[in-house]
Amino acid sequence: MADGTLRAGGKVPSTRALAAAFGVSRTTVTAVYEQLAAEGFIVTAAGRVARVASQLAPAAPSKPGRRAPPQTTLSAYGRRVENMAMTAMTSGKPLRVDFLYGAVAARDFPALAWRRAHQAALLQHQHRLYYEPPEGDASLRRAVQGYLARARGLLCEAEQIVIVHGSQQAIDLCARVLLDPEDAFAFENPGYLMARRCFEATGAKLLPVPVDDLGLDTTQLPEDRSVRLVYTTPSHQFPLGAMLPIGRRQELMRWAARRQAWIIEDDYDGEFRYGQRPIDALHAIDTQGRVIYIGTFSKALSPQLRLGYLVLPPELVPVFRQAKRLSDRHAPVLEQRALATLIDSGAYERHVRRVRRENERRRSALLDAIAQHLPADARVVGTAAGLHVVLWLPMVRQQDEAAVVAAAREVGVGVYPVSPLYAGPPGRKKPRPAGLIVGYASLDVEQIRKGVRALAAVLHRLVHAGGQGRAVQQAGDFVEPLPRAPGRIAQP
Amino acid sequence: MADGTLRAGGKVPSTRALAAAFGVSRTTVTAVYEQLAAEGFIVTAAGRVARVASQLAPAAPSKPGRRAPPQTTLSAYGRRVENMAMTAMTSGKPLRVDFLYGAVAARDFPALAWRRAHQAALLQHQHRLYYEPPEGDASLRRAVQGYLARARGLLCEAEQIVIVHGSQQAIDLCARVLLDPEDAFAFENPGYLMARRCFEATGAKLLPVPVDDLGLDTTQLPEDRSVRLVYTTPSHQFPLGAMLPIGRRQELMRWAARRQAWIIEDDYDGEFRYGQRPIDALHAIDTQGRVIYIGTFSKALSPQLRLGYLVLPPELVPVFRQAKRLSDRHAPVLEQRALATLIDSGAYERHVRRVRRENERRRSALLDAIAQHLPADARVVGTAAGLHVVLWLPMVRQQDEAAVVAAAREVGVGVYPVSPLYAGPPGRKKPRPAGLIVGYASLDVEQIRKGVRALAAVLHRLVHAGGQGRAVQQAGDFVEPLPRAPGRIAQP
């Protein structure tokens, strides 16, 4: 039938004849004919001869290699996304010391507690398994509400919380629900690339807002009528690490009120502040319902869990729930319940404190090693919080940043260029030195020391090969004042 | 500072004075000042008097109740989604017997095997935890590839597979990547509402294609130039249950080639075919790379896992990977690895066979009870496969469908109206009887019998209260030929 030997509408052999011809039992042939009939290849009726279905066409003879590839018709979103550059951080050969930002140490994960909590969730009685509400498990939302009040000074109702698949989905939902192609969005420059890409994918216009040593420069927020939102990381600016001071926070709030704009506060590593207690979320001073707060468990537990949450102004709750339901129904139930158990039992906060101490040790080792091995004018910023720092290298020109990164990879050290996180035209007014993002949460203290020593050797070699004109600039060539490290405050 | 008592730029008391005034230690006050300085409330410098930050503005006195709600500016997508009707199936009072479609029995879930597989995934060594590629875990993609070849006659490369958060996300990604507001999409009528809503949310135009007793009526596929895709459920049409015969499958392929359109094949319950072996996926006859196949683990394992997958034409792989990465990075790693272990060990397919037998028993009980208790002209369709049937009630008019559903709920029986799954203008040419969707996968045999008996009593009462003019129509009033049950084929 497929190749036309039996033509459409024609008779097929009787089951008896075919069984005889192939030497198989008639039961077998009958079963085959039933299957063929069920699939619509043949038409049968009691007492009549079976026939090939009349609308059946033999497949056109295939001409391998000659078939034209189908014309791809993507949506505008699909076309924008298809060729979007996103940094693939983990390609290439394995590294001895990888200062990969966003990675956490596997041994920091509370595997035993997670296993127990997951098992308890599995044993929790349900008489049937069905879809859950899109906003997520009620017990987890209550647990997150309590945690936010205790740890982040953020008071909200559990109804304002929507559990999502990590902060990436939170950002994506904001982009879809709030931005049209004719809109604009304000964005920290430099800023978190995967968030910028989400907003850009909507077709909306990027309005970069400079970041200085105090974080987002709120005096430069755009007054365009088309601006709908600003994305910001006030607890620990990504990547430069400043904590947005209260004056700017207030200015940001006034701007949002004036522009009727939303503030998306991505509190991606708010748990990790060293020395002082963690700063309250920006959300805590929001009296107008303009702040959309995004939290994640990627840093404190694991980026592979894919669990995060939104805290929404009440008026946005219905539309985000609908959008979440259409996107993927809801977050997986067992993981949500396991996490709720972890938080409710206090184990999550004990774990956060333990991991914070662990990361404080890593951070100290990193800063000590940098002070000891790197040239004196290397500047480290963003050290007061988080799981990474930015290392400015005034002895290396910005255009040689990639060469430093490549040379470090050659000796098995992974560091990451800061330049891709800058938006805007290449023709900048002031030159900027090379900058490296150095994450430390996945490494142990010994690796960190080794890595910095190797990086220092690479820099030394590159700078002193200066005569050959590659990846080199003498220290002191830069006129731009370097970002000050935040948090260095003299005693009153 | 917040209420203006200490004005911007003004001095704050010395630590010594404040400590004396409050009777606390100077260390405490110093710690407080450090925190205030870190948050930017005060400016300090060694040897100088600390001052209130100059840009600090006291909060405007709040006038509760007078604050105007913020003007909500949603995207076009947000506005479309905000008020979209989606059937909330599980609201209302608890039911004694709930024929809820999409639910599965909790005791069918292989909890022990899942726990072991999950535990093994937890113990699998990783030196760090970082984001995985958006297409999902390589071991799971290979496992799914093998499963599809064995169980669904679908041959593909593991590279064509993208693991997603359930079929809902697969559908949503298709909608985003393939549809613009000026496009159109063909859709089974009646069809799966949550898929239709996803496509409608893009702003694209719905072109309903009638479904008859053989499934999607491929002679009525639209020839509009703007049509980009068709969504179809060829293994077991949702909700009416037909299996699309081979002739129509071929016609669908020719239409897609002619219109350069994509075919989205949602194989939502392809594992559950009774009597015959499961029919091969439509994808198996796709020689042009036009079919996007969607599979899910919601029916065979649990809808709460939120795991499914796409099998993509090679040319669409890059854009779907990018879209998945922007949407939420990737599916959770532990669950993916647990599932891969389950499939690779053979436990998954043993489980599917066991659950298929279980559901075959439920189905038999349902069909027997319907034959025994419901009026003789009640017609059941879609029985050859899947986890639900549609029950047509010629003795009840379509406009009284909701009254039957409500009356059943009154006696504790959940059945679901078929009408919301029909798209298109209310003024239909031919009347249609009331139809109920009856899911059985979450119930035991005894519940099913009880539920059907109770439903029969409800129908009897409603029909014989006919004199009162409510929810009533005598049998035989309908002229429209009722859908034939598929799969009733005489022996050749």
pLDDT of B66 > 50? The answer is no
Helix axes B347-373, B445-464, angle to 10 degrees: 30
Q: Which of B81, B106, B290 sits opposite A128 (nearest CB)?
A: B106
- Residues of chain B above pLDDT 70, percent: 89
**Model-level pTM?**
0.89
In 3D, which of A272, A318, A21 has the Cα closest to residue B84? A318
| Contact yes or no for B232/B196 (Cβ under 8 A) | no
DSSP state letters, B207-234 = EEEEEETTEE-GGG----TTEEEEEE-T
Tell me: pLDDT of A370 over 50. yes
Whole-number pLDDT of residue B466: 58
Judge contact between B277 and B352, C-beta under 8 A: no
Enter the tokens of residue A216: 């987002």
HEC string of chain A equals: CCCCCCCCCCECCCHHHHHHHHCCCHHHHHHHHHHHHHHCCEECCCCCCCEECCCCCCCCCCCCCCCCCCCCCCCHHHHHHHCCCCCCCCCCCCCCEECCCCCEEHHHCCHHHHHHHHHHHHHCCCCEECCCCCCCCHHHHHHHHHHHHHHHCCCCCHHHEEEECHHHHHHHHHHHHHCCCCCEEEEEECCCHHHHHHHHHCCCEEEEEEEECCEECHHHCCCCCCEEEEEECCCCCCCCCCCCCHHHHHHHHHHHHHHCCEEEEECCCCCCECCCCCCCCHHHHCCCCCEEEEEECCCCCCCCCCCEEEECCHHHHHHHHHHHHHHHCCCCHHHHHHHHHHHHCCHHHHHHHHHHHHHHHHHHHHHHHHHHHCCCCCEEECCCECCEEEEEEEEEEHHHHHHHHHHHHHCCEECEECHHHCCCCCCCCCCCEEEEEEECCCCCHHHHHHHHHHHHHHHHHHHHCHHHCCCCCCCCCCCCCCCCCCCCCCCC
pLDDT in tens, B303-320: 999 999 999 999 999 999
What is the C-alpha separation between B37 and B20, in angstroms, rounded?
Answer: 21
Distance, in angstroms, between A58 CA and closest chain B CA?
9
- Of A473 and B278, the structure prediction assigns the larger pLDDT to B278
How distant is the Cα of A87 from the closest Cα of chain B, in angstroms? 11
**Whole-number pLDDT of residue B486:** 36
Q: What is the pLDDT of residue B216?
A: 97
Contact B276, A34 (CB under 8 A): yes
pLDDT tier for residue B469 given thresholds of 50, 70 and 90? very low
pLDDT at A452 > cutoff 80: yes
**Residue A312 structure tokens:** 């929404």
For B109-349, CATH gives 3.40.640.10
ipTM of the prediction: 0.89
Task: Name the band, by pLDDT with cuts 50, 70 and 90, for residue B62.
Answer: very low
pLDDT at A203: 96
Q: Is the pLDDT of residue A179 over 70?
A: yes
Contact A332 B59 (CB under 8 A): no
Whether residue B487 is predicted with pLDDT greater than 70 in this model: the reply is no
What residue spans of B400-467 are helical by DSSP H? 401-410, 445-464
Q: Are B245 and A39 in contact (CB under 8 A)?
A: yes
Q: What's the rounded mean pLDDT across residues A455-477?
A: 64
A230 contacts A261 by C-beta, under 8 angstroms: yes
Assess A34–B contact: CB distance below 8 Å, yes or no. Answer: yes
Residue B482 has pLDDT above 90, yes or no: no
Please give, rounded to a whole number of angstroms, the shortest distance from the CA of B224 to a CA of chain A.
15
With beta carbons less than 8 A apart as the criterion, state whether A126 and B106 touch. Answer: yes
Indicate the fold that domain B1-59 takes in CATH.
Arc Repressor Mutant, subunit A (1.10.10)
Specify the CATH number of the domain B97-105+351-478: 3.90.1150.10
Tokens 């985003």 belong to B176
Tell me, yes or no, if A85 comes closer than 8 A to chain B by beta carbon.
Answer: no
pLDDT on residue A425: 66
Question: Under the phi-then-psi rule, with left for phi > 0, alpha for psi from -120 to 50, and beta for the rest, what region is B15?
Answer: alpha
Is residue B107 classed as helix, strand or coil in its secondary structure?
A: helix
| CB within 8 Å: A122 and B100 | no
Report the sign of the C-alpha dihedral through residues B312, B313, B319, B321, in that order.
positive
B442 to chain A: which residues are within 8 Å by CB?
A: 127-130
> Residue A167's closest chain B neighbor by CA?
B328
Q: Which residues pair with A309 in a beta bridge?
A: A163, A295
pLDDT tens figures, B180-200: 999 999 999 999 999 999 999
Confidence of residue A70 (pLDDT cuts 50, 70, 90): low
Q: pLDDT tens, A134-157?
A: 999 999 999 999 999 999 999 999
Tell me the C-alpha distance between B144 and B342, whole Å. 11
Nearest chain A alpha carbon to B325: A168
Q: What pLDDT digit, counting tens, does each position of A293-322 carry?
A: 999 999 999 999 999 999 999 999 999 999
A63 touches chain B (CB under 8 A): no
Please determine, for residue A78, whether its predicted confidence score (pLDDT) is greater than 80: yes
Tens-digit pLDDT profile for residues B381-435: 999 999 999 999 999 999 999 999 999 999 999 999 999 999 976 555 677 899 9
Mean pLDDT of the region A239-246: 95
Walk across the sheet containing B379-381 and list its strands: B379-381, B388-397, B433-439, B416-417
* Chain B contact set for A119 (CB, 8 A): 115
- Judge: A332–B304 Cβ closer than 8 Å, yes or no: yes
Q: Which of residues 342-381 of A touch B (CB under 8 A)?
A: none
Neighbours of A277 (CB within 10 A): 11
Return the higher-pLDDT residue of B47 and B234.
B234
Q: Do residue A50 and residue B114 have CB atoms under 8 angstroms apart?
A: no
pLDDT of B477 over the 70 cut: no
Tokens of A311: 């805290």
Is pLDDT at B50 greater than 80 in this prediction? yes
Query: Between B111-123 and A111-123, two packed helices, what is the crossing angle to 10 degrees?
Result: 170
Mean pLDDT of chain B: 88
Going by C-alpha positions, the residue among B419, B417, B355 that lies closest to residue B387 is B355
B40 touches chain A (CB under 8 A): yes
- Which of B6, B74, B152, B263 should we substitute to test contact with A (largest number of A Cβ atoms within 10 Å)? B74
Tell me the average pLDDT across A438-452: 97
Q: What is the pLDDT of residue B64?
A: 44
Residue B426's pLDDT is what?
54
Q: What is the pLDDT of residue A71?
A: 59
Taking the CA atoms of residue B72, residue B78, residue B79 and residue B85 in that order, the dihedral angle to the nearest 10 degrees is -130
H-helix or E-strand spanning residue B75: none
B83-142 residue pLDDT tens: 888 766 656 678 999 999 999 999 999 999 999 999 999 999 888 999 999 999 999 999
Say what the pLDDT of residue B5 is.
79
Q: Exposure pattern of B459-474 as b/e (b: 16+ CB <10 Å)? A: beebbeeeeeeebbbe
Give Cα A29 to chain centroid, integer Å. Answer: 56
User: With the C-alpha atoms ordered A424, A428, A430, A433, is the resulting torsion angle positive or negative?
Assistant: positive
Whether A288 shows a pLDDT value over 60: the answer reads: yes
pLDDT-derived band of residue A72, with 50, 70 and 90 as boundaries? low
The CA distance from A321 to A120, in Å, is 27
d(CA B475, CA A183): 57
Q: What is the pLDDT of residue B491?
A: 32
Is the pLDDT confidence value at A483 over 50?
no
Contact (CB<8Å) A75/B179: yes
Judged by DSSP in three states, B106 sits in helix
Instruction: Kindly tell me if the per-residue pLDDT of A405 is higher than 70.
Output: yes
What is the C-alpha separation between A361 and A359, in angstroms, rounded? 5
Residue range A53-78: average pLDDT?
66
Chain B residues with beta carbon closer than 8 angstroms to that of A98:
128
Cβ of B306 within 8 Å of Cβ of A332? The answer is yes
Confidence of residue B59 (pLDDT cuts 50, 70, 90): low
- First and final C-alpha spacing in chain A: 91
Question: Which tokens belong to A217?
Answer: 């420069």
More confident residue, A56 or B29: B29
Residue A438's Cβ-count burial label (10 Å; 0-12, 13-18, 19+) is buried
How confident is the model at residue B35, as a pLDDT? 82
Q: How far apart are CA B3 and CA B180, in angstroms?
A: 51
Q: Which of A83, A75, A170, A154 is nearest to B228 (CA)?
A: A75
For chain A, give the mean pLDDT.
88
Domain parsing of chain B, residue ranges: 1-59, 97-105+351-478, 109-349
* Contacting residues for A120 by C-beta, under 8 A, at least 6 apart: A337, A338, A341
Nearest to B130 among A76, A90, A244 (CB): A90
Alpha-carbon distance of B308 to B100, in angstroms, equals: 21
Helix, strand, coil content of chain B in percent (nearest 5): 40, 15, 45
As a whole number of angstroms, the distance between CA B178 and CA A118 comes to: 38
Q: Is the pLDDT of residue A128 over 50?
A: yes
**Region A263-287: what's the mean pLDDT?**
90
**B253 three-state secondary structure:** helix
| Burial grade of B428 (CB within 10 A; 0-12, 13-18, 19 or more) | exposed
